[in-house]
Structure 1
Amino acid sequence: MTTCGNLRDGGTVAIVGAGPGGATLARLLDRRGYTVRVLERDASPDGRHQGGSLDLRPDSGQRAIGAAALAETFAERSRDDAKAFRMLDADGHEMPGQGQETHEDAGPEIDRGDLRAMLIEALPSGMVAWDHNVEVVERQLDGKWRLRIEGRDAVTADLVVGADGIGSRVRAALTNVQPIYTGITMVAAYIRPELWRGSRISDTLGEGSVMFAGANKTIFVQRCARDVILLYYSLAVPEGWPKCAGFDLSDTGAVMAAVRETFRDWSPRILGMLTDVQDRFQVWPTSVMPPDYRWDSKPGLTMLGDASHVMPPFTGKGVNLALLDALDLADALVANPGRAVADAIAGFERDMQARTSQEIRACLQVGRSAYGIDLGFDLGKPA
């Protein structure tokens, strides 16, 4: 069965990206009778490291998971005790009440890889086309959309949804506005298990996460599944770092020298505890879309999650918002069977843009106070 406008007549929904937002939308639409195809550039489900742990919040991420009939599976794979959060200063002293506004509605934690795996496993076999790197999305004369794919035959669909992240190719067909680098790059590193077991960092961390903060810099530490402790160092470096500095992430000595230089004014005891890591790093330049940007709605084409409204992780809501986008889009498509797809999409986009404008402002307010970031946006409430 297919539903909603021209999708009733055997039309196809193509979702670009099999991350949490795209996979959630695919699950929701498949359960509601749509013909869905997911195009993912990763070569396989394990083709790329998915990052650390995140919490799914009751009013957003958990709502979407419930609608996808995956609440029980989520409960089995998540860790409720891992949502505990503390903030310490650069000397290791407690900062009571600090940062609680971003964690007051925190839900159970789940590793990003486990969340994605849970969603992918819930989809019919073959729905996700792996190693499909969409290069261009272009409209055809018949109103359908053609997706050109690197090294493969093109795909045509009646509805295309971009869930392809910060570098979205779908976004290019909707707007020429691009994400702006915030000036902060996160470097992720791991503490070797043989070093943290029984150590002070393990005792300090407990089962949840700790943010060390001081002088507009942070080191975020979280306990993940499978005996892993993950750290994120915030570095105020140029876009393109470390390449622009003349080295790459394989140069462990250069990476850690940059980290130690950034945090040179912190307590040596604290810094020593937080820099004994494995020789393996990942870099995450943080970017943001302007809070007030909009695009003209186009029939049969839309986007969600980071493709639409990427923002830094300062409030920890990115994945939650992507899952909420997926739920809202699915609901919009089926809310009124007589409503045209174009009207459903336009309504979804208006509501999503209004919501995320507020979320981006709140995120940048935290960035201003925690990191001294000022990108020149008016961070008051939207008109």
Structure 2
Amino acid sequence: MNSAPGPRIAVVGAGLGGLACARVLQLHGRAVTVFEREASADARPQGGSLDIHAGTGQTALRAACLLDRFRALARPEGQEWRLLDPATGSALSFDAPVHDDDSPEIDRSQLRGLLLDSLADGTVRWGRAVMGVTPLGDGTWRLQLDDGTAEDADLVVGADGAWSRIRPALSDAAPGYAGVHFVETGFDDCDTRRPALARLVGNGTLLAKDDSKALLAQRNGNGHIRAYAAFRAPQDWQRAAGVDLDDPAAVRAHLLKMFDGWDESLLGLLRYPDGGFAHRPLFVLPTPHTWEHVPGITLLGDAAHLMPPVGLGANLAMLDGAELARALIAEPGIDDAVRAYENVMLPRSAQAAQDCAKALDDLVPPTDS
């Protein structure tokens, strides 16, 4: 842990929320160490494009003194939405279902890089996976690392996502399958190699939906487009369908059968991707997810409130991180700060989880509705 004076703060997870927390703490001269299981910032792809909302994500970036640098990277034109008729491929609406009028897009990798670059050297300890935590009886905690070593902290912040190793110290809740599966694929250099698809998607997001399934496509930076088939199905749907998920041709054939009758311009999202398909069953935490306050430990982001990926998760994670850091700066002690943070975060996340569940039902309605 950092040997600087002050409480020993350990953030577990170098996602957007954990990094926002560390950045705001360092701006105010507080020591913090971030433990991350991945070997480096480039160990795996970071996902697609995010719309960063004025009232949440941008509030966090302002607290981190990074809003101007975010604006220089963001794509305001990415807020565009196109709702298309599945049968004809023609536009039904160009209205954007945004949460704020000002919600520019940015690639997740760019945003994470912005936060990482803002931290002091050595803040993130790469390749240090925290396997669990143990209370020491005086309000402090011991982090157990995967290499057999341990680190002690006055405050542990679980920012380690859906399958958090920190959450069990506060809650018995575990993520459950939401009943919806996303199958992701993508297209590179679309403006040159797939101009018709690029025109169809436009600058932002395309959506076509019917019954309990939908096709989405989203423009990312550098001419890349990510596409998703979303549908209601059992978690192990591939068994009943006899589909080998490691066989792209079999997955493609199954999806084309599922979306049979849709316009060919939309089916191109399934016929001609670069590479294979990634399978993403959606998991959520119970709503509301709450816990009794425990000294010296708390959660933020997906570790605290995993919800459907409909545009709120990253924004709330960064806001969580910034607000926890500001509470730690403003309040007289760690316990006061964590209580103040949880008193705001828990009810806010409960409402957001309800909103996200409704948005998912609107996207792919339950089959019994």
Same fold (TM over 0.5): yes
Of the candidates 61, 64, 78, which is equivalent to residue 68 of structure 1? 64
Q: How many residues align?
A: 367
- TM superposition shift of 1:184: 0.9
Summarize deviations over 1:278-325 as a string: whole Å, max 9, x none.
1233222212222223101111100111110011113x1110011111
Matched, 1:94 2:87: no
Normalising by structure 1, what TM-score?
0.88
1:223 aligns with 2:219: yes
- 1:280 paired to 2:273: no
For residue 28 of structure 1, report the CA deviation from its aligned partner: 0.6
Q: Which residue of 2 aligns with 1:301?
A: 297
Taking the aligned partners of 2:347 and 2:250, their CA distance within structure 1 comes to: 43
Aligned with 1:353 (options 341, 346, 351): 346
Q: Distance in 2 between matches of 1:77 and 1:44?
A: 22
Cα distance change on mapping 1:247 and 1:160 into 2, 3 Å: farther
Q: Does 1:232 align with 2:249?
A: no
Moved more, 353-362 or 187-196: 187-196
Which residue is 1:319 aligned to?
314
Contact 1:364–1:373, Cα closer than 8 Å, also in 2: no
* Structure 1 residues 241 and 171, CA gap change in structure 2 (3 angstroms): farther
Aligned residue in 2 for 1:342: 335
Match in the other structure for 2:75: 79
Q: Which structure 2 segments of 5+ residues have no match?
A: none
Alpha-carbon distance change, 18 to 247 in structure 1, aligned in 2, over 3 angstroms: farther
Instruction: Name the TM-score, length of structure 2 as normaliser.
Output: 0.92
- Are residues 1:178 and 2:174 paired? yes
CA drift of 1:221 comes to: 0.7
Letter in 2 for 1:186: F
Which residue in 2 is equivalent to 1:379? none
Report if aligned partners of 1:288, 1:311 keep a CA contact under 8 Å in 2. yes
Q: Is the 8 A contact 1:235 1:262 kept in 2?
A: no
Contact 1:132 / 1:152 at 8 angstroms: preserved in 2? Answer: no
Q: 1:360 to 1:273 in 2, by over 3 A?
A: closer
Displacement after TM superposition at 1:206 (Å) = 1.7
Q: Deviations over 1:148-198 (max 9, x none)?
A: 111241111110001100000111110001122111121211124369645
Give yes or no for contact 1:111–1:224 (8 Å, CA) kept in 2: yes
Whether the 8 Å CA contact 1:182–1:373 is kept in 2: the answer is: no
CA distance in 2, matches of 1:138, 1:169: 11
Matched, 1:15 2:16: no
Q: Which position in structure 2 is the counterpart of 1:207? A: 203
- Whether contact under 8 Å (1:23, 1:120) holds in the other structure is yes
* Structure 2 counterpart of 1:159, one-letter code: L
Relative to structure 1, the CA distance from residue 105 to residue 249 in structure 2 (aligned partners, 3 Å threshold; closer, same or farther) is farther
Pair 276,106 (structure 1): closer, same or farther in 2 beyond 3 Å:
farther
SS at match of 1:14: strand
Q: Which runs of 5+ in 1 are unaligned?
A: 377-383
Give matches, 1:186-201, under 5 Å.
186-193=182-189, 197=193, 199-201=195-197
- For 2:19 and 2:363, how far apart are their aligned partners in 1? 33
Q: CA RMSD in A?
A: 2.5
3-state secondary structure, aligned to 1:346: helix
Aligned to 1:362: 355
Query: Which residue pairs with 1:380 in the alignment?
Result: none
Task: Specify the SS of the correspondent of 1:25.
Answer: helix
Provide the secondary structure at the position in 2 that maps to 1:290: coil
Task: State the Cα deviation string for residues 205-262 of structure 1 (Å, max 9, x = none).
Answer: 2221111212221111111112211111113333256588776654111221232232
Q: How far apart, in 2, do the equivalents of 1:27 and 1:136 lie?
A: 24
Query: What letter matches 2:91 in structure 1?
Result: E
Query: What letter matches 2:350 in structure 1?
Result: S
Moved more, 265-274 or 197-206: 265-274
Distance 1:195 1:83 in 2: 18
Aligned to 1:129: 125
Q: Deviations over 1:45-96 (max 9, x none)?
A: 0001111101111111111111111122212221121221121121223233
Say if 2:289 and 2:305, in contact at 8 Å, map to a contact too. no
**In structure 2, what residue type is equivalent to 1:348?**
Y
| Structure 2 letter corresponding to 1:94 | A
Structure 1 Cα separation of the partners of residues 131 and 77 of structure 2: 42
